[in-house]
C-alpha cells in the first residue's frame, strides 16, 4: 500500500510542477486564462476519474478489474457447497473474495495490489496461529510466493454470516525450483468491516491451523509481539472450563454471530454436545458419534477421506490428553456450519500445547435430531 501511495504522490507532484505558476508567468493574459481553465478541467477530470491508475486521484478499490460481477465470477469459480449471501455486507464480502480468486495466480506484485483492496493498514492476519500485522503478512507472503507458485483449485465453501466469512478451497503448491506439486486444502475465517465507497475489508483474519511452520512464522513478529503471542498461548493452556451443565455457558463463542433458524439452533446444540462428549473421554465420545454422524457420513481429515471408524482411531490416540477449550466461531448458514476452535494437549512430560482447528460441517435432519453427513476437518 505504501509503495502505491508513493507512486501516486510522485504523479501528483509531477502534475503540479507541469502546471505550476512559473510556466504561466511567461504567457499572455489570454494564454494564462486558457491555461488556468485547462488546468481546472484536468483537475476536475482527475477527481471524477478515480478508476484511472494514471490519475493522482486513483482509488484502487474502485478499479473495474477488481470489481467483476459476482454472477460472472461464479461461472469461473463455482462454489461447490454454496450457501447464500443474504445481507448487503455479505454480498460485498462474497464479491470481494471471488475477485480475489480472480487475481490470485499472478505473482506477488499482483497479490500485494489485491491486498490493497482486501485489507487496510490496521488489518491483522493470523497465519497458522501466528498473529501478524499487514506489513509482516506481506513480507511472509513475498517469501512464500518467491518459492511457491500457489494455484487455486476447487472453491468448496463460503459461509457468510453477519460481518464474518469462512471459506474452504483446494490449492496446489508448486515448488518453483523443482516443479514438485503438493496439493492441499485451505480454510480461513475473517471478520470484515464495511468501508463505504472502499467496500468490505478484512479487519482480522485467521488462515490455516497451527503446524510445523509456527515457530518460523513467529520470526516475522517483533520481540513484543512474540511475547504477546506466548502470553496468549499460555492463557489458552491454563483455560479452566466453567463447571456447569449449561453448554452455552461452558463453551461460550468468542465471536458470536446470528443463528436465527430452528435448524441452526439444533446444529449449534449438536456441536456443543460434541465438545462435551469429546472432553468426557473416549468411551463417551465413541457412543456419541452414533448420534452426531449420519450413517455413511463422508469425512475428510486433513485432506484425506476417512471412514468413521478410521476417524475414531485417530481420535482414540489423542482423546484424554487433549481438551477442547475455546470456540472462536460457529458460523451457521442454512444447513452448513463452519467452526474454529482451540484445543490444549498435555504431553507426557506435563507440558501443555495449544492448537487451533477448523471444520466445515453439513447437517441433515433425521427425525427430531440433526446429524453430520459431510465433514471437512483440519
| pLDDT confidence of residue 38 | 56
Least confident residue range of 3-7, 59-63, 360-364: 3-7
Is domain 62-221 in CATH 3.40.50.970, yes or no?
no
Phi, psi at residue 120, to the nearest 5°?
Answer: -125, 175
| pLDDT confidence of residue 112 | 86
Task: For the chain, count helices (H), then strands (E).
Answer: 13, 13
pLDDT band (50, 70, 90) for residue 66:
very high
Q: Among all chains, which residue has been given the C-alpha cell 490444549?
A: 344
| pLDDT confidence of residue 216 | 95
The span from the CA of 127 to the CA of 329, in Å, is: 17
- Dihedral in degrees, nearest 10, Cα atoms 262, 263, 267, 269: 20
Is domain 231-377 in CATH 3.10.450.50, yes or no?
yes
364 pairs with which residues across the strands? 371
Q: What is the pLDDT of residues 8-61, one digit of tens each?
A: 333 333 333 333 333 333 445 455 555 555 555 555 454 458 998 888 999 999
Query: Residue 281 — left, alpha, or beta (φ > 0 → left; ψ -120 to 50 → alpha)?
Result: left
| pLDDT confidence of residue 178 | 95
The span from the CA of 325 to the CA of 252, in Å, is: 10
The span from the CA of 304 to the CA of 311, in Å, is: 11
Q: Where are the domains of the chain?
A: 2-58, 62-221, 231-377
Question: Are 62-221 and 231-377 the same fold in CATH?
Answer: yes
Q: What is the pLDDT of residues 185-208, one digit of tens each?
A: 999 999 999 999 999 999 999 999
Average pLDDT over residues 151-158: 92
Amino acid at each position: 500500500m505504501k509503495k502505491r501511495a508513493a507512486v501516486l504522490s510522485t504523479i501528483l507532484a509531477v502534475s503540479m510542477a507541469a502546471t505550476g505558476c512559473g510556466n504561466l508567468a511567461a504567457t499572455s493574459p489570454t494564454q494564462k486564462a486558457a491555461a488556468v481553465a485547462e488546468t481546472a478541467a484536468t483537475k476536475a477530470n482527475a477527481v471524477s476519474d478515480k478508476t484511472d491508475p494514471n490519475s493522482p486521484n486513483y482509488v484502487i478499490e474502485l478499479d473495474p478489474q477488481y470489481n467483476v460481477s459476482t454472477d460472472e465470477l461464479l461461472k469461473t469459480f463455482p462454489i461447490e457447497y454454496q450457501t447464500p449471501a443474504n445481507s448487503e455486507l455479505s454480498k460485498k464480502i462474497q464479491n470481494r473474495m471471488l475477485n480475489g480468486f480472480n487475481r490470485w495466480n499472478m505473482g506477488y506484485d499482483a497479490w500485494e495490489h489485491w491486498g490493497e483492496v482486501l485489507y487496510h493498514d490496521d488489518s491483522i492476519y493470523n497465519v497458522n496461529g501466528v498473529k501478524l500485522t499487514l506489513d509482516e503478512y506481506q513480507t511472509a507472503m513475498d517469501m512464500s510466493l518467491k518459492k511457491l507458485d500457489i494455484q487455486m483449485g476447487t472453491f468448496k465453501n463460503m459461509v457468510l454470516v453477519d460481518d464474518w466469512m469462512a471459506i474452504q478451497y483446494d490449492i496446489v503448491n508448486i515448488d518453483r525450483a523443482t516443479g514438485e506439486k503438493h496439493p492441499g486444502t485451505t480454510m480461513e475465517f475473517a471478520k470484515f468491516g464495511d468501508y463505504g465507497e472502499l467496500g468490505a475489508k478484512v479487519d482480522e483474519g485467521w488462515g490455516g491451523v497451527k503446524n510445523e511452520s509456527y515457530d518460523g512464522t513467529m520470526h516475522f513478529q517483533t520481540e513484543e509481539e512474540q511475547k504477546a503471542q506466548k502470553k496468549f498461548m499460555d492463557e489458552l493452556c491454563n483455560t479452566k472450563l466453567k463447571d456447569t451443565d449449561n453448554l452455552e455457558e461452558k463453551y461460550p463463542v468468542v465471536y458470536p454471530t446470528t443463528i436465527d433458524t430452528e435448524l441452526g439452533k439444533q446444529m449449534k446444540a449438536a456441536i456443543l454436545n460434541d465438545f462435551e462428549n469429546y472432553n468426557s473421554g473416549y468411551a463417551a465420545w465413541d457412543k456419541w458419534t452414533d448420534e452426531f454422524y449420519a450413517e455413511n457420513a463422508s469425512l475428510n481429515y486433513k485432506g484425506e477421506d476417512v471412514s468413521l471408524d478410521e476417524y475414531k482411531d485417530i481420535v482414540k490416540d489423542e482423546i484424554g490428553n487433549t481438551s477442547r477449550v475455546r470456540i472462536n466461531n460457529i458460523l451457521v448458514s442454512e444447513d452448513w456450519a463452519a467452526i474454529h476452535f482451540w484445543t490444549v494437549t498435555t504431553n507426557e512430560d506435563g507440558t501443555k500445547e495449544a492448537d487451533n482447528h477448523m471444520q466445515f460441517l453439513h447437517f441433515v435432519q433425521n427425525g427430531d435430531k440433526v446429524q453430520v453427513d459431510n465433514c471437512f476437518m483440519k
